[in-house]
Structure 1
Amino acid sequence: MALALRIMSRLGIAAVTGVLLAGAFSAPGQAADPTPTVVGGTQAAQGEFPWMVRLSMGCGGAMYTEQIVLTAAHCVSGTGANTSITATYGVVDLQSTSAIKRTSKYVLQAPGYNGTGKDWALIQLASPITGASLLKLNTDIANDNGTFDIMGWGAATEGGGQQRYLLKARVPFVDDTTCKASGGSYSGLVVAEEICAAYPQGGTDTCQGDSGGPMTKVVNGVPVQIGIVSWGEGCARAGKPGVYTQVSNFAAAIKAAADSIGGTVPPGGCGKSFTNATDVAIPDNTTVTSSVAASGCTGNASGSATVAVDIKHTYRGDLVIRLIAPDGTSYLLEDFPNGDSADNVLKTYTVNLSSEVANGTWKLSVQDTASADTGKIDSWTLTV
């Protein structure tokens, strides 16, 4: 995606080589590039990025719910009813007869979007893709560093054509100060809303046609969306990073927008149970964890998931019990009153986990907050 000074988006078919907004707009007097992929990339394997979507206007996107695709604001023309977009899901090869296709029903462009920052949008499909793999949004700014995965069907070279096969690459985080110092349009970087990634020497980047696609990172064994392909000067040029919408700053707004158009992450759940019956000692004034690895599920966990715990302890008023999701999100199950002198905890908690991807490593955390009494986690079972 080779974006030129924010006046060209990586809309069109952008390659993952340079930074070019893949949206629906172009510079004054300049036609939008209809062809751009990922520069410096290699072909992705079928099923490697199962939530990836190709949009007919020449953008990428990711499944947020079974009926909503998250993409870039510059890929769409505004908010309102829209039946002109076709979403292609489930394949690496865009010509595959196995592709699942849906037409759009409604588009919601980020409120306040004016071409600078806030580059996100939701596309509601006419009907859900039942069982679709969903990409979880990053909600923790602490994850906005390290190395990221980028992917798209955009141009593989600056000014090149759209690709038939999904390409992938990895790029490292570039801090805001360095990114702004790249000059040109980068001096206007909206640091609270945008995140940069690239190698100093260039050679790997998103490009025209990659706009709207996700930039991801695996956190605690689960892929989360760190960014949305937004813009850049050219594709994969040295000293010209790719710029992405910083999802951690918009996760709450995106969820609220999806809720407003009836796109809440479905309760879902696969009904499977996962148990750890290995004893874990709970010493005084210590936090311990016990893990289970959930697998074989599709999409998100249930809105009425259950956590059944069997904890042996001689003074449960010392205990604080939490469930830790694969992405690190903590759910408080119980904080017993200090004066609760009863023994043991044999209880089943119901938790709304519909915003969490079901598969991954889940942890039961038990904190002992005082001295004199100890115990152990005897066993626990998570049903997602």
Structure 2
Amino acid sequence: MTDTTPTAQLSAAGVSIWLDDLSRERINTGGLQSLIAEKNVVGVTTNPTIFAAALAKGEAYDEQVRQLAASGASVDEAIFEITTDDVANASDIFHDIYERTNGVDGRVSIEVEPGLAHDAKATVETAKKLAEKIGKPNVLIKIPATVEGVEAIADTIAAGISVNVTLIFSLQRYREVINAYLTGLERAKEAGIDLAGIQSVASFFVSRVDTEIDKRLTAIGTDEALALKSKAGIANARLAYQVYEESFATERAKALVAAGANEQRPLWASTGVKDPSLPDTLYVTELVAPNTVNTMPEKTLDATFDHGVITGDTVTGSYAESNEVLDKLAALGVDYDDVTATLEREGVEKFNVSWGELVETVTNALEGAKSQAAAK
């Protein structure tokens, strides 16, 4: 690995590269270690879709499924055991990076069950249960930024648990997320919890914003509308970085940092392009800024490593231009609040569908194992 590769340049520019994927096969074969060594990967994010896909292929989970079936584990218990085992093992792989970066990177994320997205109390209980089960200092518990999720974020941070806030689409919701983080830190400080041990990232989704807005621009169909396609996602994310800069420059935030707290870094999620006509590294090269995370599907990571052109900070200084994009969209009748509310609702629905697929996959695996055992 040299500092001339695009991923090394991206890292040098202050962007932490996290892989948006995890499987037991990737852990067992050394594939994850290779990405760390060769492509500057310093963390991993997971979600129900990723686990459903991992379980649906290969034989890496067969032995554990047989054991769970023999013990009479329920489907929910089996999912809990399987997913937390993968995250714990990945956390061990990243532990050296966690130590070397003083806890900033080397992080592995696991999501609370998406069916709890509108139940703050159950979300907090599940977050605590996941953190305790995994028992690794470098785990992040993913909580969606629904209205109820924002409440749960404050409570989870207050308990000293590190959080990856997911499914953020709007700038206003992002401000609420930062406020929840700071509130949680203040409560943790009052409780005597060491703030230095609490980390958080705020996952701001990018490509899905373009997908939804571009659909509306295509429906409008004018030259002016079509000229704005594929610009909203980057503009929205760049303005999120402005919110981050402003929020952590306040006296409130600076007082917490002085007491040992960490800033909540912006994380760019949904960074694989959905439109094949776009450059496959668009949501990487156009969102380079210090103290950020970009969580990439492997296809995007490979593209970035192969031909990404990293030109330094492409975010700060772009705020007037980014606001102009959103202003032009509003003038055309594209309702920003409706777009972001739609995306949040659909995001929760998609995770619920994936959770259902995960439940079905594990149910079938358990039943198959029981049948095999009975046939012997």
Which of the five TM-score ranges fits, normalised by the shorter chain? under 0.3
Look at both structures and tell me which one has the larger radius of gyration over its CA atoms: 1
Q: Which structure has more strand as a fraction of its residues?
A: 1
Q: What's the TM-score, normalizing by structure 1?
A: 0.23
Say which structure is richer in helix: 2
